[in-house]
Structure 1
Amino acid sequence: MNCCQTSSSHWVFPTIILCLFGFFSMMKPSEPFVVPYLAGPDKNISLSVITKDIFPVWTYSYLVLLFPVFVLTDYVRYKPVIVLQGVSFIITWLLLLFGQGVMCMQVVEFFYGMVTATEVAYYAYIYSVVSPEHYQRVSSYCRSVTLVAYTAASVLAQLLVSLAHLSYFYLYVISLVSVSIAFIFSLFLPMPKKSMFFHTKPNKEAPQKLPREDAVLGETQKDHKGLGNQLSSPKPSNVALRVFMQWFQDLKECYSSKHLFYWSLWWAFSTAGFNQVLNYVQILWDFKAPSQSSTIYNGAVEALATFGGAIAAFTVGYVKVNWDLLGELALGIFSAADAGSLFLMHFTTNIWVCYASLLIFKSSYMLLITIAAFQIAVHLSMERYALVFGINTFIALVIQTIMTVTVVDDRGLGLPVSIQFLVYGSYFSVIAGIFLMRSFYTIYSAKCRKNKCSPATDQNPHESGDSIPDVSTVTQV
């Protein structure tokens, strides 16, 4: 008991350090001006080479690194991976500042793939050093501080470029200083004594379980202990094998729910498209309004888009909607809005319309991904949510890689950037069509069940594919 009280009273220090790391790691004013910098006199690389030879390396590296880093993060208990992320930040910006040539920029993209793959440690670390009653507050702090930092960096970058006429090179100097400070803060993080999977505490302490905010989560905790007992009963000698067995069983149970399956499906496909659009939107802007001969406002647009996305995500908490019934309709409608904004980017010749389209696109996605995360998390324990999040992200990267090879890479179609956005708009149109049809079916089925309740329906309420089974339980063999 005393041990629990001590750990609970020491949540402030690691939270402050983690927030400082998050702030300085996202305080990079160079981000909105990556393409103008690479295409400008500093690097003098053509848009075609940036599109087809440099940027795809990030996607491929992220895909290759994600799963091993996900496993390693839990095994080494988070902090070493956060430190690795800090080192990767520094290497990336050093090469951006002083490296030359296409091959060097490809190495940059590899290390940036390492940066994004190791982000999982930042968000998972806090659950290993903070008691469950502080989870919600600390998670809010960590996510908010990165959002504030990215917005502030984008505004600062635009002011320095537009008003002070500062060279892009110095934006990268400021970014290098910022990520170096983040690395220093990462060294002061306390080393966790436990993790979600490989280094768990005995059940009597139950340190990593979620607060019992509702009955579903309470049942999740009980059943997850049951799962641990089931899996530990054969006692495989290999700890890793035991953990992988647990993961397989958990994922099988999670995706057996059609409700969670369809939300995860949208998550994976939309995240793939979202990442692809953000990866290449600066190239489209430079194609519509060349940075060497036009006044560009990338920083202001990125700041507004991030702020708009934050407002959209914030409003979700205050909207009272039956997401079980109308959630898929929202997915379809806002995915259609995403598709429309991408079509607008393709057909317009006005850079301001392109800017406005990104605001719509990013705000719609941030709104929906917040809803999707909540819909998935509310039915799962923290461990299962981490697994589902990891698998959804991995599937999204596989889809994005297929998209990159097919649409962008010269080994595929090698399409010009403007035509690419026509493809991306069509991609989101298909997503919108699938979920609109699915939502109409769900609403129609619910209406039929309401108007015609048969005894069979009353006896077996989970027979419909649209019902939400308790995915937190484990099938008894």
Structure 2
Amino acid sequence: MREFLKISLILSLLGFLKEMRFIEPFLTDYYSTNFENVTIEIINQEIFPVGTYSHVIQLLIVFLITDYLKYKPLVILLGVSSAIVWGLMMIVDGKFGLQIIEVFYGTFCACEIAYYAYIYTKIDKENYQIVTSHTRSAVLFGRFFSALSAQILVYYKVSDYRQLNLLTFIFQVFAAIWSIFLIPSVKTSIYFHRDEIEKQHKKLNAFKLIWEHFKMSYKNETVLLWSAFYAMSFCLYFQITAYIQVLWLTIDDNVIWNASVDGVLTLLSAFSMLIAGKVHIAYLQQRTPTILILILICIFKGVLLIFAATSSSLLLCYILYVTYGILYAFSITICAFKIAENITEDSHGLIFGFNTFIGLSIQTCLTITIVSNGFKLGPIGQYVTYGSLYLVLGSGYLIKLLMEMLKK
């Protein structure tokens, strides 16, 4: 087996294992029915926001130290923190306990940037597209398998929510063990561990080199264009998926099919990522068609979310959410390898980390102003706002395109 395929397989299996979180499709219902004095409003405004704040703070630290620690320790922390989250859920009680869990969940989410950036440190640039699609598809196939299993177990009353949580914990322990013993170490890195490439970078010190790569990357208009899309899409996707169960409970409290919806979404999203990795999109090599594609994607996503938020039918909301998720999976995969192929090799942790940090910073602002404080909008108002933000982003790209056309 070719070396890059071997590494891709190992990382893909880790991605699959870490997504074996069977309780997640029913998490909001589980919190509200199994923990003392925890209501839907408390979950929406006081528990889930802690995860957002924890994520953004820890991500700032993670993307600054990823290179220094040479990736693998943070991939291990990803597996260990996930096991801690689902282990704690079996022993804590009440709002404060759930907020502590959200802090560790923020650790898990922050370390995912090391997992996704790691692949670019071990393979050649010509294999970026295919390996990106492999690892991201494996993550989605994992979500599909766990969601389908959870749906079957709940529907046929084989397991209750607590048993689903125990099953989740077991698989997260497996993921932690896999990350410790099977993920290959990175011997060198571009900033702090440069034994083999010292001459290439003329003995620049680490922090100066970081700044040079940062400037070089964002001076590239293609990187800047796709990074803006990456940050905003990342922000809104995580905000939407974090609170979607609250919206579903608002429309209809009979949410027994949540896991099926997650399963369908992840399976179709995985296939869309594989397609994104296989199909060569010639238009993306040209600037004007690229901006047009971004405009259309943003507008379509915005319309989907607004219709989902204002729908009185849970089934229609499910369908619109799945369509949105498929489009996100396809577009973010293209976005990831378009950025990767236009930046300096080995600076992927820096650039993807910064893009993710910007996205999370925006998400934190949204959480403070829209959800937990500020306007304190209900689920419907929140999702209309998220859809509107996509329309604003699409309008921004449209204005930029018109300005470039006028200059010609």
TM beyond 0.5: yes
CA RMSD of aligned residues (A): 2.6
Is contact 2:251-2:314 (8 Å) kept? yes
Structure 1's 42 and 404: CA in aligned 2 closer, same or farther, altered over 3 A? closer
Shift of 1:260: 2.5
Q: Deviations over 1:203-241 (max 9, x none)?
A: 39x9xxxxxxxxxxxxxxxxxx3xx22x62xxxxxxxxx
In 1, distance between residues paired with 2:138 and 2:296? 30
Give secondary structure in 2 for the equivalent of 1:383. Answer: coil
Q: 1: distance between equivalents of 2:268 and 2:325? A: 8
Aligned with 2:331: secondary structure?
helix
Matches of 2:399 and 2:391 in 1, distance apart? 12
In 2, Cα distance between the equivalents of 1:132 and 1:389?
A: 16
Shift of 1:395: 0.6
What residue is the counterpart of 1:457 in the other structure? none
Q: Does 1:89 align with 2:49?
A: no
Higher gyration radius (CA):
1
Asked if 1:362 corresponds to 2:334, the answer is no
**Equivalent residue, structure 1, for 2:109:** 116
Partner in structure 2 of residue 309 of structure 1? 269
Distance in 2 (alpha carbons) for counterparts of 1:79 and 1:16: 16
> In structure 1, what is the Cα distance between the partners aligned to 2:93 and 2:289?
52
| Cα distance, 1:332 vs structure 2 | 1.2
> Which amino acid in structure 2 is aligned with residue 414 of structure 1?
K
Q: Cα deviations across residues 246-285 of structure 1 (Å, max 9, x unaligned)?
A: 1212222222233322221122122211111111111111
- Indicate whether 1:318 and 2:279 are aligned: yes
Q: CA deviation at 1:133?
A: 7.5
1:273-284 correspondence runs (5 A): 273-284=236-247
Matches within 5 A, 1:49-68: 49-68=42-61
- Structure 2 letter corresponding to 1:163: Y
- In structure 2, the residue matched to 1:453 is none
Per the normalisation by structure 1, the TM-score is 0.78
Distance 1:261 1:137 in 2: 23
In terms of fraction of residues, the more helix-rich structure is 2
Q: How many Å apart are 1:17 and its aligned residue?
A: 4.5
Contact map agreement 1:128 1:193 (CA 8 A) in 2: no
Question: Could you say which residue in structure 1 is the equivalent of 2:386?
Answer: 424
Residue in 2 aligned with 1:296?
A: 256
Q: Post-superposition shift, 1:328?
A: 1.2
1:255-274 superposed matches below 5 A: 255-274=218-237
**For 1:365-380, what aligned pairs fall within 5 Å after superposition?**
365-380=328-343
Q: Deviations over 1:280-328 (max 9, x none)?
A: 11111111111xxx25211111122222323333333425442222111
- In the TM superposition, what is the alpha-carbon distance from 1:344 to its structure 2 partner? 1.1
Deviation at 1:19, TM superposition (A): 3.7
**RCO higher in 1 or 2 (8 Å CA, sep ≥ 6)?**
2
What is the aligned counterpart of 1:155 among 130, 148, 151? 148
Q: Which runs of 5+ in 1 are unaligned?
A: 1-7, 207-224, 233-241, 450-477
Matched with 1:220 is none
| Residue 163 (structure 2) pairs with residue 201 (structure 1) | no
Query: Kindly tell me: are residues 346 and 192 of structure 1, through their superposed partners in 2, closer, same or farther at Cα, counting changes over 3 Å?
Result: closer
1:104 aligns with 2:97: yes
Query: Does structure 1 residue 335 correspond to structure 2 residue 298?
Result: yes
Report the alpha carbon displacement of residue 139 of structure 1 after superposing the two structures with TM. Answer: 4.8
Residue in 1 that maps onto 2:209: 246
Contact 2:231 2:358 in 1 (8 A): yes
Write the distance in 2 (CA, Å) between the matches of 1:186 and 1:75.
18
Partner of 2:137: 144
Query: Structure 2 CA distance, aligned partners of 1:15 and 1:254?
Result: 25
CA contact (8 A) 1:128 1:196 kept: no
Identity over aligned pairs, percent: 31
Q: CA deviation at 1:47?
A: 0.7
- Letter of the aligned partner of 1:421 in structure 2? Y
Q: 1:394 aligns with which of 351, 357, 371?
A: 357
1:140-186 CA distance string (max 9 Å, x none):
54333222211111111111111335311111111001001111222
Q: What is the match of residue 172 of structure 1?
A: 165
Bigger shift: 363-372 or 150-159? Answer: 363-372
Go from structure 1 to structure 2 and tell me whether the alpha carbon gap of 1:21 and 1:419 turns closer, same or farther (over 3 Å shift).
Answer: same
Q: Secondary structure at the match of 1:199?
A: coil
- Deviation, 1:134, is 6.7
